[in-house]
Amino acid sequence: MALTSDLQKIVGAEHVRCDGETSRYPTDGRVPRAVVFPGSAEETGAVLAICNEFKAAVVPWGGGTSMGLGALPSAVDVAIDLRRLDRVIDHEPEDMTSTVQPGITLQRYREHLGRHGQFLALDPPQSSHATIGGILAANASGPRRLRYGTARDLLIGLRVAHADGTITKGGAKVVKNVTGYDMNKLYVGSLGTLGVIVEATFRLYPRPAAERTWLGRFTALADAGRAIARILDSPVVPSALELLNDAAAIGIGQGFADMPREGCIVGLAVASVPEAVDAQLRRAQSLAGQDGLLLDGAEHDAFWAAVRDYSGDAAVILKAALPIGAVAGYVSAAEQSAHAHRQSLAAIAEAGSGIVRCYVRAETPSGAASLVTELRSAAEAMRGSLVVLQAPADLKAAVDVWGPVKGLDLMRRLKAEFDPARILNPGRFVGGI
């Protein structure tokens, strides 16, 4: 077809796949007609311009780790796989900034930065496969957002290819930037519906001299919530603070011989110089009223990797954003709702950030849809919100995966301005954008 021929002229025939070769790129069961692998920002822009001309719907791809996020697409024609754009373009260790292409995985980027004693303070799930571009598009984060913030806080510069092929640049390569509108924040979390990220510049942090973890077991979620509140109201500075309900604790605990197997678990990570780490962990133990279990070195790393990558074989994954004080109560309410709907539910909460992830095995699809509606209502009653991170297509057709969103009219106007032909991930973002 003409579209495929034009794409081959841009990137070379060897970097375009068609028909039966595209089955590895499904979006909620819909397979593209072609997959293209651009090798530069300019090629990415040219590919988008051709797709715009043919009114072909485009789905950007990185490592595929966040492809479950989003509503059902209204069209899928071309997938743009950005993994050829995988270079570290610039790294200024003295300025603690670095610029990378979107297709590099977070793990490879960490390895590069680690050789200079620095790191990018993002820790989303599946870092060995998740690419920088995908992490930004999904605004994916993990336990360490408590101390370092999200991608929006760490990003200082961005280059984006737009639907008409134009490439724009925002921000700079220095932490202190000029005042004005921070256009970068428009693209982070927009799921590629406004443009395709082709380059990103971040602020970095020095790797801490030491980091250790304390695990405490509690028989009741309310007791765990009170211990968390005391820790957050103390001089202890956590780099991560997680609450695992009993189902999640059992699943994660299988990989650790000494980890408690009953009750809910509070996990606290502290990073600093060794003396400060030890002093803060002792203070946390005192506040919690128990010694608990201390993890160091490989066990510490393995625990947090297990927390980040936990799935529990869940068919449905939900994310509630809540006031911090409501976290333990919400986990308890979610457990009760799941039991009433005969669903299995594990919960892992970023207790210091107000984020609760619920992992539902969904034994019955109708029960899962009712459970999502009930858990969203519970979140809203606590002045929070709920998003579906992953679900089967039939469940996505039955529920609003995003829920109510403020400023939807403005978002629609931005979409119309940036992508008037609606070729970029159409239908997948809030309000069907």
Q: Does residue 37 carry a pLDDT above 90? A: yes
Distance of CA 215 to the CA centre of its chain: 24
CA distance 310 to 369: 22
Q: Do residues 258 and 177 both lie within one domain?
A: no
Residue 7: how many other CB atoms lie within 10 Å: 29
Q: Do residues 394 and 417 both lie within one domain?
A: no
Instruction: Quote the domain boundaries for residue 322.
Output: 316-398
Q: Would you list the DSSP string of 182-245?
A: -THHHHTTSTTSS-EEEEEEEE-EEPPSEEEEEEEEESSHHHHHHHHHHHHTSS---SEEEEE-
Q: Do residues 94 and 198 both lie within one domain?
A: yes
Q: Does residue 15 carry a pLDDT above 80? A: yes
Of 251, 278, 309, the residue at which a domain comes to its end is: 309
Q: Do residues 142 and 35 both lie within one domain?
A: yes
Q: Do residues 202 and 215 both lie within one domain?
A: no
Query: Which residues are registered as beta bridge partners of 34?
Result: 18, 78
Give the pairing of strands 78-81 and 34-36.
Answer: parallel
CA distance 129 to 59: 18
- Upper half-sphere CA count for residue 181 (Cβ side, 13 Å): 4
More confident call, 125 vs 179: 125
Q: Does residue 265 carry a pLDDT above 80? A: yes
Give the residue from 105, 143, 99 showing the smallest Cα distance to 124: 143
| Confidence at residue 175, expressed as pLDDT on a 0 to 100 scale | 56
- What percent of the chain is predicted at pLDDT more than 90? 90
Q: Do residues 381 and 256 both lie within one domain?
A: no
Across the range 24-40, mean pLDDT stands at 96
Q: Do residues 38 and 11 both lie within one domain?
A: yes
Across the range 191-202, mean pLDDT stands at 98
**CATH code at 274?**
3.30.70.2190
CB 171 within 8 A of CB 155: yes
CA distance 33 to 236: 53
Across the range 111-132, mean pLDDT stands at 96
CB 109 within 8 A of CB 197: no
CA distance 109 to 92: 14
Q: Do residues 82 and 219 both lie within one domain?
A: no
Q: Do residues 202 and 297 both lie within one domain?
A: no
| Confidence at residue 258, expressed as pLDDT on a 0 to 100 scale | 80
pLDDT per position as a tens digit, 273-287: 999 999 999 999 999
- Upper half-sphere CA count for residue 225 (Cβ side, 13 Å): 15
pLDDT per position as a tens digit, 55-100: 999 999 999 999 999 999 999 999 999 999 999 999 999 999 999 9
Residue 256: exposed, middle, or buried by beta-carbon count in 10 A (0-12, 13-18, 19+)? middle
Q: Do residues 176 and 246 both lie within one domain?
A: no
Mean per-residue pLDDT of the chain:
94
Residue 363 binned pLDDT confidence (cut-offs 50, 70, 90): low
Across the range 255-261, mean pLDDT stands at 79
- What percent of the chain is predicted at pLDDT more than 70? 97
Number of domains in the chain: 3
| Confidence at residue 173, expressed as pLDDT on a 0 to 100 scale | 62
Residue 262: exposed, middle, or buried by beta-carbon count in 10 A (0-12, 13-18, 19+)? exposed
Of 309, 340, 357, the residue at which a domain comes to its end is: 309
Q: Does residue 351 carry a pLDDT above 90? A: yes
**CATH code at 420?**
3.30.465.10
Q: Do residues 8 and 154 both lie within one domain?
A: yes
**CATH code at 375?**
3.30.70.600
Query: Which residues are registered as beta bridge partners of 214?
Result: 268, 294
Q: Do residues 37 and 143 both lie within one domain?
A: yes
